[in-house]
Chains A and B, each alone.
Chain A
Amino acid sequence: MKQFFAVFEYELGTYLKKRPFQIVTLLLMVLIAVGMTLPRFLASGEENTVTGLEEEQIAVMASQDMGMTSEQLSQLLNQSMGAMEGEEVFQPYSGTKEELMQAVEDNTYTSGLVFDSLLQYTRIAGTVGLYDQFSSVLQEVLLQTYRAQAMAQNGMSQEQVQQVLSAQVEETLEQTEAGKNQANSYLFTYVLIMLLYMAIIFYGQMVASSVATEKSSRAMELLITSARPTSLMFGKVFGAGCAGLLQFVLVLGTAYGAYQINEPYYTGAMSIMKTLFNLPVETLLYAILCFVMGFFIYAFIFAALASLVSRLEDLSNVITPATMLFVVVFIIVMVALNSGEVDTPLMIACSYIPLTSPMAMFVRITMGNVAGWEIAVSVALMAAGAVALGYLGAAIYRIGVLMYGKPPKLSGLVSMLKNRQK
């Protein structure tokens, strides 16, 4: 235990003292603080642009047999569209369609509308934006007007028409205990899974490169003759884990702090961030648990693999299989998450295999139907898997650190491990 703490302290201290580690942490904190403060400026900026922007001038032409003049139509559109968007100004236009086309091209008007009837019109425009919603809003207004006219013609009073048109369906959602509102949890699940993925890959590789550095500098020979491999292995992984967790807490803490300061500005589309920062405590705890478990499982694998290489250059070759496995898991989980079906047989299986469960089980907890005992079993399996991989990793490490030259094949490794057990 004494050895474990010595290794742990040394490793943690080394990470915290490393310049790149400090710089990256600081940089991430600054970036996220700036990012989280951005809505403050965007929000105030948006107001300015709205008032400062030139209104869109839209020319309106009504055909003669339509029953409405261009002026009437413009007025109607200004009333109903203006209330919704407020950017467009509709003006009656008298002239030919060709002249209007020319006028739009000359930017006298932003666009033009030539009406045959309420249900049929031609839109003359320059570039139509990717997120252009003008047409759908306009069509809704036209449809409403058409329906109102039709109902009035059939003898309905103004109030009746209003009532019919403004009718809405009300839904009250009552969920069972285990039920999840996927729409609500999708976003934070998505973000947390991304973070989980990045953290495990990043810190796992940090452990791997630390092991490979010790090996290539040949410090290993002294370490392995001074301390037990299990102490070295566990101390290293715990040290890197704590450094990682600390970095994570600092960065996410900064994000949360910046969010708190700027909270009033998170309006409109940005209000989606509120769901992120108000996620249930339970979910947060599960996320941390899955991070810790996932980190240990993969860090042990990475460390064991890294002990097989003699030069840093070979490191990426050796850990690629483990990284690939993890990426595949990530993709499976992401596909399931995006399809909304997280309780498929594949996902259920994945949520019990320690290599895949940190991600799979987390998604099922937030998005699917899992009973408490299922979570308990999965977490127990993760913990057991982590410990088993820790000891297996230490055994490989013990053999690996004294091997120089070409990394061994898997079969060779297995036979060496067997040899050791004798």
Chain B
Amino acid sequence: MQFAVEGLHKSFGQKQVLRDVSFSTESGKAFGLLGRNGAGKTTTIRIIMDVFPADSGKVLLDGAPMVREKINIGYLPEERGLYPKVNILEQLIYLGRLQGMTAHDAKANSMKWLERLGMEEHANKKLETLSKGNQQKIQLTAALISDPNFVILDEPFSGLDPVNAMLLKDVVRELINSGKIVLFSSHQMNYVEEFCDSIAILHHGEIVLSGSIRELRRAKGRSRWLIQTEETEKALRFCRESLSDVVKNAHAVKEGAAVELLHEGGEAALFAAVSTSGLIVDGVQLITPTLNDIFVEATTGDDDEAEGSEDK
């Protein structure tokens, strides 16, 4: 299956929340929708879930407009919430039935997922009696109960301890390997890097960066270098005084001085200058940007404070 959104626009009253948002992904791939608080992630997800329509733009499945009734979408909302005072199995069955399952299938599938997540012993407890991490696993069960082909996970790892996070990672990997579309939204870049092939970064309702993580990295890739040295102070002074036409932003890091090239292909000049500087240098090395770096760079700039989020 091919999934895409094209040119989504959405305003609430005077406030424009989404501006020309487009991205696409396909079965067996995980896609990361990233952005700071209030960037428009939840709004985008709600449009996909058909909670409200976009002002313009399309949600497409295999090239045709997606009909929400015809496809099951498993959804783990960022704001977790189920019935605190109701028997867990009972509410899972109810949610399964709302998604069109029979009571019997809903029960069987609930048990299957509860067992998979090690929660079967809690099936007949009230939700409020469980710890936060366990409640989260119930929430995940609720999202997966109808074995959907399309899963949206909004901040799935928040609030999980390392063991539970590992369990969830395995489940997410299974989902991807079994050919489902996984739409992933998170601030925790390490998880995004681990699962997602492609990402889109939303900033103030606009996609500021999108593509495969590897390409994004490579595009950013050759401008930041590390001068490995013990004499960090000296190296920094040298960069500022003698190399100001080659590099900028020289600053100290653990292993030495980090610099940013002013021009593409400027590394030759950097190597030459360093080798004749008289500094004791262990090496000059390319700094591969982390997704975190890319994210921070893309989402800071014109103003620092993100506006109040639309979903709060």
Contact = CB atoms under 8 A, between A and B. Distances in A.
Interface stretch (B81-89, B180-188, B245-253, B284-292): B81-89
Given A402-B51, A420-B52, A226 B99 contact: yes
Contacts of B83: 214, 217, 219
A220 B81 contact: yes
Contact of B98 (A3, A220, A420): A3
A218 interface: yes
Contacts of A7: 98
Interface residues of B, number: 26
A135 interface: no
A221 B79 contact: yes
A239 B80 CA distance: 25
Nearest to A226: B98
Contacts of B49: 225
A175 interface: no
B142 interface: yes
A222 B142 contact: yes
B148 to A, nearest CB: 11
Contacts, number: 65
Kindly state the interface size class of chain A when it binds its partner.
20 to 34
B218 interface: no
A253 to B, nearest CB: 29
Interface string A387-407: 000000000001100101100
B312 interface: yes
A223 B13 CA distance: 25
B63 interface: no
A224 interface: yes
A261 interface: no
Contacts of A404: 311-312
A200 B91 CA distance: 28
B13 A415 contact: yes
Interface string B87-109: 00001001101111000000000
Contacts of A220: 81
Given A6-B97, A218-B80, A219-B81, A225 B312 contact: no
Interface string A212-250: 001001111111111100010000000000000000000
Contacts of A225: 46, 49, 51, 73, 75, 77
Interface in A184-231: 214, 217-227, 231
A225 B143 CA distance: 11
Given A217-B84, A219-B83, A220-B81, A6 B312 contact: no
Interface string B299-312: 00000000000011
Given A2-B100, A227-B98, A222 B77 contact: yes
A10 interface: yes
Given A217-B82, A224-B51, A10 B94 contact: yes
Interface in A404-422: 404-405, 415, 419-420, 422
A14 B87 CA distance: 10
A402 B98 contact: no
Given A218-B80, A402-B51, A226 B95 contact: yes
Nearest to A420: B52
B38 to A, nearest CB: 14
B81 A218 contact: yes
Contacts of B75: 222, 225-226
A422 B54 CA distance: 10
Interface string A1-20: 01100110010001000000
B51 A219 contact: no
B79 A218 contact: yes
Interface in B258-295: none
Contact of B95 (A217, A222, A402, A422): A222
Nearest to A223: B98
Contacts of B13: 415, 419
Nearest to B52: A420
A405 B51 contact: no
A218 B311 CA distance: 12
A359 to B, nearest CB: 34
A7 B98 CA distance: 7
Interface string B56-84: 00000000000000000101010111111
Contacts of B81: 217-222
Interface in A360-400: 398-399
Nearest to A228: B69
Contacts of A398: 51-52
Contacts of B55: 422
A-B pairs, top 4 by smallest CB distance, nearest first, are A218-B81, A6-B97, A226-B98, A227-B98
Interface of B: 13, 46, 49, 51-52, 55, 73, 75, 77, 79-84, 86, 91, 94-95, 97-100, 142, 311-312
24 contacts: A6-B94, A6-B97, A6-B98, A14-B86, A214-B83, A217-B81, A217-B83, A217-B84, A218-B79, A219-B91, A221-B77, A221-B79, A222-B82, A225-B75, A225-B77, A226-B75, A226-B95, A227-B98, A227-B99, A398-B52, A402-B46, A404-B311, A405-B312, A419-B13
